Amino acid sequence: ANPVLLPHLLYLKKAAKFNEINSTDYTNLVSLLNPASFNHNLWKTETMDELLSKRVQELASNGGEPPERYIYRGSDGIAPSFPLLEVPVVDLSCFASSSPLADQELDKLRLAISSCGCFQAINHGMSNSFLDQVRDVGKTFFALPTEEKQKYSRAVDDTEGYGNDIVLSEHQTLDWTDRLYLTVNPEDQRKLKLWPKNPESFRDVLHEYTVNLKILTILVLKAMAKSLNLEENCFFDQYGEEASMIARYNFYPPCPRPDLILGIKPHADGSAITFLLQDEEVEGLQVLKDDQWFNVPLVPHALLINVGDQVEIMSNGMFKSPMHRVVTNSERERMTLAVFCMPEADIEIGPVEELVTEERPRMYKKIKNFVSLFFQNYQHGKRPIDTVKL
């Protein structure tokens, strides 16, 4: 064996002997420790416990008490029941042409994103059966045997691919979720080896879905500007033609302790806007409004669109990037697809000048590549947007 890895292999052997891990895990871990994918620097900051953290799906199927590391210790707590949030439903077809309903719909949009930060978009141009397909390819993937899914595993030090929470610190609370995280745009940055070939239609379906979302992003950014009586390109100009897009399928297995564990910790998205295709049957998403957590209802073939930090910055705080989190349940699995739309990395974004006034002074600095701030802050429970507040 590689001398650098030897101590770690010995540790694993010991753990296996004391039944802390079973033999399949042991074999998987040993293969994980192959020199090509093993990053020694990362190792130094990780404890054994972290390396041993398994796909949540496996933890869930093993039964028993979940590992300590998943227990959420935030002061907001996880109460047994929550009020339902009334999320406005916005008809996107009104923005596409000169519809007589456009003004009314723009008002609805503005009110929604300046209060709860999100809305349910209907008449988005995609058929119900197509959206079902988008969900199905994800569900089929997560239902594959572990070995098959692991062909698309993310590297220990990378976010892209199939895997669980990336571990950046020893004190991080882990999310009860497995993910398939893929860069979609710019297209030349796709890592196709991480895009499942099983189910066969996966790549085409995800591609087609995101082509649609690209068009909708432009439509929504323009509508946001119009809703504030601004020139319609003022947000889009900061977004750019070569914007980036990341797709993340989130799979939440049933959780033995929904009272103690979250599917995703409280966060706001680092995107400009995010499209969330929710599970068609199982709720879980919560949004913070007036310091209280609310459940977000399911609208089966609507897209839930939320403002991300970058539109909050561009709008000088007029539009809110809502804090949200995901709760778990002990009975049913849940799967969602979040698509994060980000401005071109080298465009500098900042509050639109017209929105900086005496009553509303500039709230944020100009910044480039905001997303790079994101992960480190998130895993430390900090809001990245606070680092650019004036």
Quick check: 390 and 363 in contact, CB under 8 A? yes
Cβ 331 to ligand OGA shortest distance, Å: 17
- Number of other residues whose CB lies within 10 A of the CB of residue 306: 27
Cβ 17 to ligand OGA shortest distance, Å: 38
- Nearest residue (CB) to ligand OGA, 33 versus 296: 296
* Residue from 38, 28, 27 nearest 3 by CA: 38
- Nearest residue (CB) to ligand OGA, 238 versus 250: 250
Cβ 35 to ligand OGA shortest distance, Å: 33
Cβ 306 to ligand OGA shortest distance, Å: 8
Mark 259-278 with x for binding to ligand OGA (rule: CB under 6 A) and - for no binding.
-----x----x------x--
248 binds, among Ni ion, ligand OGA, none (CB under 5 to 8 A by kind): ligand OGA
Does residue 326 touch ligand OGA according to CB under 6 A? yes
Largest CA distance in the chain: 72
Cβ 263 to ligand OGA shortest distance, Å: 7
The gap from C-alpha 339 to its chain's centroid, in whole angstroms, comes to 7
By the criterion CB under 5 A, which residues form the site for Ni ion? 269
Does residue 94 touch ligand OGA according to CB under 6 A? no
Region 284-313 residues binding ligand OGA, contact defined as CB under 6 A: 284-285
* Residue from 286, 54, 81, 275 nearest 176 by CA: 54
Rg of the chain (C-alpha set)? 21
Q: If binding means CB under 6 A, how many residues of this protein chain bind ligand OGA?
A: 11
Distance (Å, whole) CA 28 – CA 31: 5
- Burial bucket for residue 234 (CB in 10 Å: 0-12, 13-18, 19+): buried
Give the Å distances, CA to CA, from 169 to 69, 253, 268, 384: 11, 24, 20, 17
* Residue from 145, 105, 139 nearest 121 by CA: 105
The binder of ligand OGA chosen from 256, 336, 342, 349 (CB under 6 A): 336
Does residue 385 touch ligand OGA according to CB under 6 A? no
Contacting positions for ligand OGA (CB under 6 A): 248, 250, 264, 269, 276, 284-285, 324, 326, 336, 338
